Amino acid sequence: MSSLTKNTLAGLREILTRGDASSVEITQDYLAEISARRDLNTFITVTQDDALVSAKVADQIRAAGQASLTTGLPIAHKDLFCTKGILTSCGSKMLSNFISPYDAEVVSKCKNAGFVMLGKLNMDEFAMGSSNETSYFGPVKNPWSPTHVPGGSSGGSAAAVAARLTPLATATDTGGSIRQPAAFTGTSGLKPTYGRVSRFGMIAFASSLDQGGLIAQTAEDLAIGMQIISGHDNKDSTSALIEVPNYESLLNDSIRGLTIGLPEEFFDSRLDTRMQSQIEEVIRIFTSLGANTVSVSLTHVAEAIPAYYVIAPAEASSNLSRFDGVRFGYRAEKPIDLTDLYECSRGEGFGSEVKRRILIGTYALSEGYFDAYYKKAQQIRRLIKQDFDRAFSLCDLLLSPTTPSTAFALGEKSDDPVAMYLEDIYTIATNLAGLPGGSFQAGLIDGLPAGYQLTGPAFSEAKILNAAHKVQQVTDWHTHYPEEIRNV
Ligand code: GLN
């Protein structure tokens, strides 16, 4: 591995500022690593030529004294962010030929900030999954153990950061898809508050839950990235008109006196004992830094998965109706009539998990069942939101494991959708309540990473990053990467 690609985003920024390496050199090293680690299947598209051109432009801007803080830094985007002129597949056969005519807002913000895009990252089909095994482009391997999954749906983003194939990756989280893969790969991931980051140009799965965010090595790197991608966007009607704080400067606040709530429902007997002891270690570190802990209750959290698996498929069934073989992407060959065109294009273009969601969602929304399922699920959603409101009247942030255990083996849960859905028991409630949540490194268990989750009130991203940064300043969990462990 090149010495440049071992750096954090903040480290690369220093290297560029000092002039120790150019953006072209950094980009070349990442492209070489990406090609050396094809076995991980993290990238669907590598935009090699465009990356080198943008890096060259970034170096010229720097030479002219006009560089911003992020000019020339590498990034890769999850393949559900539309990228103009470049394949945007959403991990699906349905969009396996879709060249987007425009950039997602997140992508244009990164471009305008001078980021160099290395390519597009693998993901579960239409972001439905927890293992990256539903991708039309094949599963992603966990860099810590190629027989294990990297988590999903942002498995490509997390694995690429863990393997040091990019210092920063965009990702999305509808029910845990940033936090769970971050936990499985020993990376840091932030799912912002609903509305903090524009959804314009993010291919929709469940619009009331989807949120774009980031995966990186550290909380500090997430702060650098959040500064660029956050903010109001007229093109997204759910985008929040709330000022963006200076995330990086807030990293240095003291956390003395911070109250951390421990939701009792998340520390029950189902939690793996070794995971529990890793989390207890994190709690000890927080306490040693001056934080207090308090036990809180999220009474309705057990209902979060059932409610999510009504709401998310219902919204997906509506969102995915646009893929009809006429307007976008895959079209079946030689249909006999229009109905046959729709049926064959959708039948052949979608994978089985996507079809399962469309069927469940269509059923839940159908006349006679709407009140029993969709309306009920929305009522549960409100109760969950109230649980969080009550908890945040007693504490500043909530701390829990991100996942019940470490990464599972490839194929272990792919035939059991319910076991797969239970992967998100600690993450899904956050999305139902629209809150921000992050997952950060909590050491290794039998050579596989563990993660702890911080959840905060709406728009408390700075507080989450500040708390995680303080822990990262006194631990070295975030500095480990799979290659290093293998080389020992
Ligand atoms: N694993 C969950 C699902 O399959 C969440 C996915 C996500 O957050 N995009 O729906």
Q: How far is the CA of 392 from the centre of ligand 1 (A)?
A: 25
Question: Which of 177, 178, 403, 418 to mutate to test ligand 1, by most ligand atoms within 8 A of the CB atom?
Answer: 177
- The pTM (predicted TM-score) of the whole model is 0.97
Q: How far is the CA of 28 from the centre of ligand 1 (A)?
A: 34
CA-to-CA distance for 316 and 14, rounded, in angstroms? 43
| Residue 384: burial class (beta carbons within 10 Å; 0-12, 13-18, 19+) | buried
Q: How far is the CA of 143 from the centre of ligand 1 (A)?
A: 21
Ranges of residues in the chain with a pLDDT under 50 are 486-488
Q: Which residues pair with 116 in a beta bridge?
A: 74
177 in contact with ligand 1, CB cutoff 6 A: yes
CA-to-CA distance for 81 and 179, rounded, in angstroms? 18
- The catalytic position among 92, 157, 177, 230 is 177
Q: Can 153 be counted among the known catalytic residues?
A: yes
pLDDT confidence of residue 484: 66
**Closest by alpha carbon to 240, among 456, 436, 439?**
436
**Closest by alpha carbon to 388, among 282, 284, 261?**
261
Strands 259-263 and 292-296: parallel
173 in contact with ligand 1, CB cutoff 6 A: yes
CA-to-CA distance for 395 and 41, rounded, in angstroms? 41
pLDDT confidence of residue 246: 98
Q: Are 350 and 93 in contact (CB under 8 A)?
A: yes
Question: Which of 130, 149, 320 to mutate to test ligand 1, by most ligand atoms within 8 A of the CB atom?
Answer: 130
Q: How far is the CA of 127 from the centre of ligand 1 (A)?
A: 6
175 in contact with ligand 1, CB cutoff 6 A: yes
pLDDT confidence of residue 367: 87
Q: Tokens 């797969």 correspond to what residue?
A: 420
Question: With the CA atoms of 60, 63, 66 and 68 taken in that order, what torsion angle do they form, in degrees rounded to the nearest 10?
Answer: 80
Residues in contact with 369: Cβ distance below 8 Å, sequence separation at least 6, in sequence order: 363
**Closest by alpha carbon to 80, among 211, 162, 148, 172?**
172
Q: How far is the CA of 190 from the centre of ligand 1 (A)?
A: 15
Neighbour count for residue 128 (Cβ, 10 Å) = 27
pLDDT confidence of residue 328: 86
Q: Tokens 């799965």 correspond to what residue?
A: 205
Catalogue all structural domains in the chain, each as residue range(s) with its CATH number: 9-255+454-486 (3.90.1300.10)
CA-to-CA distance for 433 and 334, rounded, in angstroms? 46
* Residue 320: both structure tokens together: 């995915």
pLDDT confidence of residue 452: 98
Q: How far is the CA of 11 from the centre of ligand 1 (A)?
A: 32
pLDDT confidence of residue 38: 97
CA-to-CA distance for 15 and 21, rounded, in angstroms? 6
Whether a cis peptide bond, with omega within 30° of 0, leads into 321 is: no
Angstrom CA distances, 72 to 4, 120, 161, 164, stand at 13, 18, 17, 17
Nearest residue by C-alpha to atom 5 in ligand 1: 175
129 in contact with ligand 1, CB cutoff 6 A: yes
153 in contact with ligand 1, CB cutoff 6 A: yes
Per-residue HEC secondary structure of the chain comes to CCCHHHCCHHHHHHHHHHCCCCHHHHHHHHHHHHHHCHHHCCEEEECHHHHHHHHHHHHHHHHCCCCCCCCCCEEEEECCECCCCCECCCCCCCCCCCECCCCCHHHHHHHHCCCEEEEEECCCHHHCCCCCCCCCCCCCCECCECCECCCCCCHHHHHHHHCCCCCEEEEECCCCCCHHHHHHHCCEEEECCCCCECCCCECCCCCCCCCEEEEECCHHHHHHHHHHHECCCCCCCCCCCCCCCCHHHHCCCCCCCCEEEEEHHHHCCCCCHHHHHHHHHHHHHHHHCCCEEEEECCCCHHHHHHHHHHHHHHHHHHHHHHCCCCCCCCCCCCCCCHHHHHHHHHHHHCCHHHHHHHHHHHHHHCCCCCHHHHHHHHHHHHHHHHHHHHHCCCCCEEEEECCCCCCCECCCCCCCHHHHHHHHCCCHHHHHCCCCEEEEEEEEECCEEEEEEEECCCCCHHHHHHHHHHHHHHCCHHHCCHHHHHHC
130 in contact with ligand 1, CB cutoff 6 A: yes
